[in-house]
Structure 1
Amino acid sequence: MKKINSILILIVSLLVFTSCDKTETYAEQLERETESIHKFIIKKGINVISEDQFARQDNMTDTAKNQYVLFQNSGVYMQIVEKGTGEFIKKGETTTVLCRFTEHNILRDTLQLSNQFLIFSTKVDKMSVTNTSGTYTASFDPSSSVMSDVYQSTSVPSGWLIPLSYIKIGRLEKASSKLSHVRLIVPSQQGQFNASKSVYPCYYDLTFQRGRL
């Protein structure tokens, strides 16, 4: 398993370091990133709505219309598929959140990483989340995190924290229980370490479940 993990880390590293032209300026890389996001939105038939419309819809997106809300301050696009069973993370609360995810590199149009299938399917990414007066901070548990293993950082992408203001974090305790489920388009400045360094956006399919402290 360690050998396989090392190979995957090497593959991801190669993808990252070959993803940008070294002669490009940072401004040019950001422009290329913006273009790739717009192409992705068109390709996927995404209907972008404003934060005002999102609020009028009781902080929900209509999946039948393939709606994503754009948060202007961060540049993150979010679709809420399922708000989830359970409770919102309360102000002043620190809790453990378990994540299943799939990460696509939008710039290269490739599946980049996932813990939902193949060799990582037995590992659920665990993070410690704190709500401080409505501002969320989080870090991965290095002993149980594919993201931490591959990107060598316990920092949770800022884009992953945006949904936490709008979804409930619970557990599958009965047949009617549902995990919160979101889809995100995350620009590099709100992304994981390598995405930020090499300036590429990622598309995430994420579920959240409350863990045990």
Structure 2
Amino acid sequence: MTHQLTKVLLFVATSLVLFSACRDTDTYAERREKEDKQIQAFLRRGCVVRDKIHGFDVLNVPGNIKVISEAQFLAQDTTTDVSKNEYVLFGTGVYMQIIRKGTGTRIASGERASVISRFTEFSIAGDSITTSNLLDHPERPDLISVNNNSGTLNGVFVSGLMYTTYGSAVPSAWLLPLRYLNIGRQHSADSQIAKIRLIVPGNEGQKVAINDVKPYFYEITYERAR
């Protein structure tokens, strides 16, 4: 009797382990589905984060985003029409709006460049700003070392808030815009540094986004270091 009971308990335990493994797989699929729904909702509504004490918007992203294809983006000379609230959707699932193309030149093939970045990171799932060197450390922008290896861009954070928060790995989505932007310095009132907006699915983001399968929004400027 005891032997039979042991066999039954062992069978139940094994079944629970197998069920748990199946649930883990289902849970990941459900997370991806939930992430997509969160992104679609963000495309419709955008977001506004307001500093009620000082009476200004810390972040204001208009909703009713118009999504264009990569083909249309290329046909428009790699631009997005901000007046129409256009974002281009890439095959990786990243959405990008180019607010300013920037001054100077692109990072050339074979070139290594030091890029200064200022940003605000907004959790789409959490509906809140998670980090921003504009708010937390305006005097200490992030520094990225970028290498263009025959058209393939690689980069590491050298210092700054992204470095201390998430480590040296630069999210793939952060490097993507550099293919289309001029990275220079603002030498006059008429020359403006590059500025973009990104909607980033978890698998193209920083390590927390990847682990949690959570989407993030970024507003980022890029400037060539001296």
TM over 0.5: yes
Deviations 1:86-117 (A, max 9, x none): 00000010010000000000011111110112
Q: CA deviation at 1:174?
A: 2.1
Alignment of 1:27 onto 2:47: no
Alignment of 1:122 onto 2:139: yes
Deviations 1:160-210 (A, max 9, x none): 011011000001122222100000001100000111111101000000000
Which structure ranks higher in relative contact order (CA pairs < 8 Å, sequence separation ≥ 6)? 1
Q: CA deviation at 1:123?
A: 1.1
Alignment of 1:133 onto 2:147: no
CA distance in 2, matches of 1:24, 1:97: 41
User: Highest CA radius of gyration, 1 or 2?
Assistant: 2
CA distance in 2, matches of 1:134, 1:26: 33
Alignment of 1:149 onto 2:164: yes
Aligned to 1:41: 43
Aligned to 2:113: 95
Deviations 1:125-165 (A, max 9, x none): 00100011111000001xx21011112x1000100011011
Q: Percent identity at matched positions?
A: 46
- Matched letter for residue 147 of structure 1: M
CA distance in 1, matches of 2:111, 2:171: 20
Q: Secondary structure at the match of 1:25?
A: helix
Query: Paired residue for 2:183, among 166, 169, 176?
Result: 169
Q: CA deviation at 1:23?
A: 10
- For structure 1, the residue ranges without an aligned partner over 5 or more in a row are 1-21
CA distance in 2, matches of 1:46, 1:175: 30
RMSD: 1.3
CA distance in 2, matches of 1:23, 1:149: 32
CA distance in 2, matches of 1:23, 1:58: 42
CA distance in 2, matches of 1:175, 1:183: 22
Q: CA deviation at 1:27?
A: 1.0
Alignment of 1:210 onto 2:212: no
Query: Paired residue for 2:78, among 34, 59, 74?
Result: 59
CA distance in 1, matches of 2:186, 2:79: 22
- For structure 2, the residue ranges without an aligned partner over 5 or more in a row are 1-23, 46-62
Aligned length: 186
Q: 1:108 to 1:78 in 2, by over 3 A?
A: same
Q: Secondary structure at the match of 1:55?
A: helix
Q: CA deviation at 1:24?
A: 6.5
Alignment of 1:83 onto 2:85: no
Q: Secondary structure at the match of 1:58?
A: coil
